[in-house]
Structure 1
């Protein structure tokens, strides 16, 4: 008897899932949103956009501790472009700081920097930048180079044999400074957020508008499983979107995945479930498809673009906006995707972001279920 009821349950559940798949495949507009938007955004964002930076976290490693290095550091510190941490680090510690996203640039003064400048009339400064975001890396290195050149020009005013300070620049993770390295992870976050939230919200509200949802809810089939059956197709279709985005990135934009593809898929699945949970919550609170679309499209697109960090650096924003950015799921997925794809990091470096997304998912599911029950009472 139990096996019979289980088979009936499975049959009902998969019939609901199949029904939703049929609806999606018959709707050309839905297919265009699901599969056309990711391709267009990858191509547009991957080739077109750049942005400006300031207040970036950098580290000054001063092995010289002499007059010239301190004067140059003071000039850099006085500019609005940098938030400086002065310390002595070895090579491994510097690389670790880059991998963890704690700094954007490292400025390294070698020993006897001032002596070489005074006695040999030339010295070298090493500049190491995180080029996983090429625009930021290129901009920051240019700022540093200009400040050093300005200092050099002041030294050369009253001497016959000019001093020369060379800056050795090294770009980590993205030596060619390709814009796709920054925008592909951001577009993944944007596309998955919009598609999952909007499609889920609309599909459930549509059932409520036509009256079929009420019929389903009074059936022996549990309400939670009804909603789950509506979300499963969009989970599968969103994973197909992830595959298409990665294929475009590798073959069209020449952006390899340096980290674990399996981990990237696992993190993408977690983010998709987070977005589906948000879509379910919006659908429960919305009375019409138009309201659900407006909330999911405008309410999700702007925060994702503004606060995820891929269009505008979060550190440039006022502190209240930086705090608000922490509640945007796309911000955490953008950090995860960029770290895996470009820096090649693993779960040990990304556990905090993963835990935050998991916590958001649990929270959204809990409040959705509670709101759902209250709505039916």
Structure 2
């Protein structure tokens, strides 16, 4: 075991000494054009909404039908009481809740004004603002239809409330995304390059004939990156909390456990890449095109997944970054517990086991 720790110490020194930067010249333009062309859009389609209609009259039904008839919103469920609102948001697939009070039709016709409430999940402030703008525009058109375009003092006043991020701070979106991006960069990319460098330089044969077992050699190479990435995640959390006021409403221990699990997932992915490649340049290209860019564009970090074409939405499900961002938002912004994040945690755990099994089958303990 002493030899193993010395090996880990050597790898730590090597990380700090290696300052080379590899530039990818081919393949990157094609990937950028394809991903940016399909993923970048300001429009959101088929956002799932829930309705809490206390009025249950013809005017309120007409308004709900008007909103859900557009391509922007899909009616997911009808709620029965205010107690169902937060559980609906916690499910993760409800983007907005429309609350219509009692006497909506009476207030609109007799009192010359009526109010409704729009509640959005502001853990993604850009999406929340866009959905509110869509809803306000549809409500305005519906009001004009009811007044027959006459200038009558009949108005509907939407009461907007942003849930989880009332100030619409974009940093609440970027802190989880940046953490995911950095951990993926440090764990997966650097691990794949480090192991592949030993194979490319021919030093892997020397390591394989050492007293250490092959699995201990791989573990010794990835342990420094585990420690480094875990330390970086703590720094990001501290900076986000101290400088930007990023809340952590859930359990700190659960959050750190999720970070550790994602580090293991990314490391196992880096080991898999290194077992399939024989040069640093190839490992870098695979990491950049297969991990870094999809993490930025297809994980929900910058652009909402709902606005992407269905094939890209399907591809996003196989990205560990998507599930880790969901976990971070749920713990930090919504205060979710283990039961609420059990599904994404289980998916990350399954991905980790799958990547490790495939890596062990592909890794060659004898080099020719």
TM over 0.5: yes
- Find out whether 1:55 has 2:38 as its counterpart: no
Q: Note the C-alpha offset of 1:374.
A: 7.8
Q: Note the C-alpha offset of 1:375.
A: 6.7
Aligned partners of 1:320 and 1:313: how far apart in 2? 14
**Aligned residue number for residue 124 of structure 1:** 115
* Alignment check: 8 A CA contact 2:47 2:306 kept: yes
- Find out whether 1:167 has 2:161 as its counterpart: no
* Alignment check: 8 A CA contact 2:295 2:322 kept: yes
Aligned partners of 1:216 and 1:179: how far apart in 2? 47
TM-score (norm 1): 0.88
The CA deviation string for residues 172-213 of structure 1, in whole angstroms up to 9 with x for no partner, is 110000111111111111111122111101111111122221
Instruction: Select the residue among 244, 251, 262 that pairs with 2:253.
Output: 262
Most deviating of 163-172 and 296-305? 296-305
- Counterparts of 1:274-293 in structure 2 under 5 Å? 274-293=265-284
Q: Note the C-alpha offset of 1:89.
A: 2.6
Q: Note the C-alpha offset of 1:112.
A: 2.0
- Counterparts of 1:243-322 in structure 2 under 5 Å? 243-322=234-313
CA RMSD of aligned residues (A): 1.9
* Alignment check: 8 A CA contact 2:248 2:333 kept: yes
- Find out whether 1:345 has 2:328 as its counterpart: no
Q: Note the C-alpha offset of 1:86.
A: 4.2
- Find out whether 1:140 has 2:131 as its counterpart: yes
Question: CA 1:68/1:81 → structure 2, altered by over 3 Å: closer, same or farther?
Answer: same
Q: Note the C-alpha offset of 1:153.
A: 2.4
Instruction: Select the residue among 100, 104, 113 that pairs with 2:95.
Output: 104
Q: Note the C-alpha offset of 1:158.
A: 6.5
Aligned partners of 2:331 and 2:227: how far apart in 1? 22
Question: CA 1:302/1:158 → structure 2, altered by over 3 Å: closer, same or farther?
Answer: closer
TM-score (norm 2): 0.90
The CA deviation string for residues 104-156 of structure 1, in whole angstroms up to 9 with x for no partner, is 10001112211221121111111111111111111111211121122222333
- Counterparts of 1:70-89 in structure 2 under 5 Å? 70-89=61-80
Give SS of 1:171's match. strand
Aligned partners of 2:98 and 2:352: how far apart in 1? 40
Aligned partners of 1:346 and 1:99: how far apart in 2? 11
* Alignment check: 8 A CA contact 1:196 1:279 kept: yes
The CA deviation string for residues 318-358 of structure 1, in whole angstroms up to 9 with x for no partner, is 32222211111101001001111111111110001000000
Give the total of aligned pairs: 350
* Alignment check: 8 A CA contact 1:315 1:322 kept: yes
Question: CA 1:156/1:205 → structure 2, altered by over 3 Å: closer, same or farther?
Answer: same
Gaps of 5+ in 2: 22-39
* Alignment check: 8 A CA contact 2:275 2:364 kept: no
* Alignment check: 8 A CA contact 1:333 1:353 kept: yes
Gaps of 5+ in 1: 1-9, 31-48
Aligned partners of 2:133 and 2:149: how far apart in 1? 26
